[in-house]
């Protein structure tokens, strides 16, 4: 979701206008906003609105959130309340004790953040609060009271319907993370709800896809630049793409800052133009397209194995050549940071292991072991690392797969050293290489 320009710098600057059109027939009869403090440089406020003409369980977090964004207000760490007693209490707070009778109203309230330039120093609890302001537990990200229409239904179905913007898959993830509670207790997705149950989600997941934030401050080395694509040398320690909206220090952010036309190209918005990834601590060449047509042409080459990818690795022991490592790999169920080589057919089936091929082309003695060149055209996550470890030669510095740590070095010794592919514009083979 693209964040618009900041249109308000404090709660007092807010009006009810951005909250209009929440739903057909809804009308805001009361609206209040009040700053409650500053936390980590972010001005935190409570925003409350009382509405008529809409059922409580039809007020969706996402719909309100998106409406405010369209109104030009930057929101940070939004928390929504629709439970009547708590919301009315907060409304009474921000209205300075002047809340009226809200019969036949639905009252909603938000913890609302604004980017702040002049942050008040943090207090002992991390928030500097003006005296007399509300002090209590942080409100949940989403709250819903079960009404008659939902009685007897599964909790996950009710949540997927009552919290627009949350798919069944994302609701499932919330249950797995223990974020869903009924009447204050952690609940299973299969629970059948009863009238009056108070369902809360402690924290809502961020968007699964978003545009990478342009990061012109991150310097990158362009090895090859053409009208439709670039080959870039990713430094070790730099992530290929962001995991969170607004994250800086990623290759994707540096690329979209230098080549804004890449925005929206590729598999996902957070990976603008990027054809393949490298592990954070692996350095070397990555291929990125500057337009969707070139991306599709290069993606086809990647899928059919026509892009040759070579790597230089330093590993333990003396590696003999040539060697061809043909061993399926799967995510390690005991350690989510790792993958594992699978040999047993039952394990291959159970873990859904994928075929993986690594060819050791050259080897020469080097400090603490060998310097090898390998080819892995369709390299999967951690493939070169786990394959070399599987034959008794883990990478230097790769302690995750049994390699020795090296004083003064914070990354494993693996570099994507060469890419060979067909230029979609000229039809000729092109090679980018680094030493």
Same domain, 131 and 159: no
Same domain, 129 and 150: no
DSSP assignment of 245-271: TT--S-HHHHHHHH-GGGTT-SSSTTS
Same domain, 171 and 232: no
Residue 337: pLDDT band with limits 50, 70, 90: confident
Q: Is the pLDDT of residue 13 over 70?
A: no
What digits encode the pLDDT tens for the residues 189-205? 889 988 888 888 876 66
Same domain, 191 and 110: no
What digits encode the pLDDT tens for the residues 256-299? 999 999 999 998 888 999 999 999 899 999 999 999 999 999 99
Q: Is residue 341 part of a domain?
A: yes
Measured torsion, CA atoms of residues 280, 282, 285, 289, in degrees rounded to the nearest 10: -20
C-alpha–C-alpha distance, residues 397 and 411, integer Å? 6
Residue 92: pLDDT band with limits 50, 70, 90: low
What digits encode the pLDDT tens for the residues 22-41? 545 566 666 666 655 554 44
CATH at residue 386 = 3.30.2350.10
- CB burial of 326-360 (b: ≥16 within 10 Å; e: otherwise) equals ebbbbbeeeeeebbbbbeeeeebeebebbebbbbb
What digits encode the pLDDT tens for the residues 348-357? 998 889 999 9
Give residue 6's pLDDT.
26
Q: Is the pLDDT of residue 429 over 80?
A: yes
CATH at residue 190 = 3.10.290.10
Residue 313: pLDDT band with limits 50, 70, 90: very high
Q: Is residue 244 part of a domain?
A: yes
Q: Is the pLDDT of residue 409 over 90?
A: no
| Residues annotated catalytic, as ranges | 279
Question: Two tokens at 260?
Answer: 């804004």
Residue 107: pLDDT band with limits 50, 70, 90: low
- Higher per-residue confidence, 2 vs 431: 431
C-alpha–C-alpha distance, residues 70 and 1, integer Å? 11
What digits encode the pLDDT tens for the residues 143-164? 777 877 778 888 888 887 766 5
The total number of residues written for the chain in this structure:
435
Q: Is the pLDDT of residue 388 over 90?
A: yes
Q: Is the pLDDT of residue 345 over 70?
A: yes
Q: How far is CA 151 from CA 179, 191, 198, 277, in A?
A: 21, 11, 12, 47
Domain-ending residue, one of 208, 233, 266: 208
State the residue range of the domain holding 12.
1-139
- CB burial of 280-293 (b: ≥16 within 10 Å; e: otherwise) equals ebbbbbbbbbbbee
Same domain, 134 and 14: yes
- CB burial of 378-407 (b: ≥16 within 10 Å; e: otherwise) equals bbbebbbbbbbbbbebbbbbbebbebeebe
pLDDT-above-90 percentage for the chain = 41
Task: Please state the domain count of the chain.
Answer: 3
């Amino acid at each position: 979701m693209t964040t618009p320009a900041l249109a308000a710098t404090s709660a007092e600057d807010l009006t009810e206008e951005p909250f209009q059109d929440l739903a057909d027939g809804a009308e805001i009869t009361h609206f209040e906003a009040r700053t409650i403090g500053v936390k980590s440089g972010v001005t935190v406020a409570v925003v409350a609105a009382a509405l008529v003409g809409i059922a409580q369980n039809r007020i969706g977090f996402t719909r309100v959130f998106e409406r405010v964004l369209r109104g030009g207000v930057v929101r940070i760490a939004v928390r929504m309340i629709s439970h009547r007693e708590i919301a009315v209490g907060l409304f009474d707070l921000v209205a300075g004790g002047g809340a009226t009778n809200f019969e036949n109203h639905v009252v909603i309230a938000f913890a609302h953040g604004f980017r702040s330039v002049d942050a008040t120093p943090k207090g002992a609890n991390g928030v500097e609060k003006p005296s007399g302001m509300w002090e209590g537990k942080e409100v949940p990200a989403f709250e819903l009271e079960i009404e008659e229409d939902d009685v007897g239904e599964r909790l996950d179905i009710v949540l997927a319907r009552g919290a627009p913007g949350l798919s069944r898959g994302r609701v499932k993830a919330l249950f797995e993370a223990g974020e869903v509670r009924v009447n204050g207790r952690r609940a299973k997705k299969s629970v059948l709800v009863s009238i009056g149950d108070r369902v809360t989600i402690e924290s809502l997941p961020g968007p699964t896809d978003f545009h990478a934030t342009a990061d012109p401050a991150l310097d990158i080395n362009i090895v090859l630049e053409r009208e439709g694509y670039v080959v870039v040398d990713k430094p070790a320690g730099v992530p290929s793409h962001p995991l969170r909206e607004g994250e800086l220090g990623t290759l994707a952010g540096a690329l979209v800052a230098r080549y804004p036309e890449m925005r929206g190209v590729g598999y996902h918005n957070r990976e603008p133009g990027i054809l393949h990834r490298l592990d954070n601590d692996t350095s070397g060449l990555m291929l990125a397209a500057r337009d969707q047509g070139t991306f599709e042409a290069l993606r086809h080459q990647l899928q059919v194995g026509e892009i040759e990818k070579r790597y230089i690795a330093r590993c333990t022991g003396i590696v003999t050549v040539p060697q061809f490592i043909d061993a399926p790999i799967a995510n390690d169920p005991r350690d989510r940071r790792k993958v594992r080589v699978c040999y047993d057919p039952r394990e291959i089936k159970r873990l859904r292991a994928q075929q993986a091929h690594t060819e050791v082309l050259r080897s020469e003695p080097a400090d603490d072991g060998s310097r090898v060149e390998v080819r892995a055209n369709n390299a999967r996550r951690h493939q070169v690392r786990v394959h070399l470890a599987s034959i008794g030669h883990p990478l230097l510095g790769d302690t995750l797969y049994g390699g020795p740590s090296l004083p003064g070095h914070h990354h494993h010794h693996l570099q994507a050293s060469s890419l060979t592919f067909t230029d979609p514009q000229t039809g000729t083979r092109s090679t980018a290489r680094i030493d």
